[in-house]
Amino acid sequence: MPRTVEIAPEHPREHAAIGALHCAAFNDTYEAAVVIGLRAGGFAIASLVSRVDGRVAGHVMFSRMTVLVDGRDVKAAALAPLAVDENWRQMGLGGKLVTAGLAMCREAGMHCVVVLGDPTYYRRFGFSLQAIAHLRTPYGPGKLMGLELVPGALAGQAGEVRYPAPFGRAQS
């Protein structure tokens, strides 16, 4: 039977399912707690679900973060966390969530996006390690990737990336 797939902003009634999804995908409660903290703190720019036949099958959060380059405060979003239910992977849902979230970040006036993750996965969306290699980050060098939504947004000599408080252990 054909299935209906949609990408849409999360609905409050889906909060529990989103938490359960992240706990299962990461085998940890950290990511679910980060999502709750970002929502509660008003940091969210986009919190999107993928639904298969109306049920949550994936979720991504984009939230406000601080990126300073040569003293410039660059409007920046953190992409985290991203998870797709293991029964629905390899079907493009993760890609659709990221692409839709990036579009919302652009509409929200963000100039760049930062992600911690496997470079092989995130390169396809245009993220690169090089884009933020000149910035100090809480994860140390070579871990975070950056994507300019506005060309030249991350250009400069030095600076830093700071995650908001709900990320807890990722704060600098």
Residues that bind ligand COA (CB under 6 A): 25-26, 82-84, 89-95, 117-118, 120-121
- As measured in angstroms, the least distance from the Cβ of 23 to ligand COA is 11
- As measured in angstroms, the least distance from the Cβ of 96 to ligand COA is 7
> If you ran DSSP here, which 8-state letter would residue 25 be given?
H
By beta-carbon proximity to ligand COA, the closer residue of 83 and 114 is 83
By beta-carbon proximity to ligand COA, the closer residue of 26 and 139 is 26
By beta-carbon proximity to ligand COA, the closer residue of 95 and 109 is 95
- As measured in angstroms, the least distance from the Cβ of 110 to ligand COA is 19
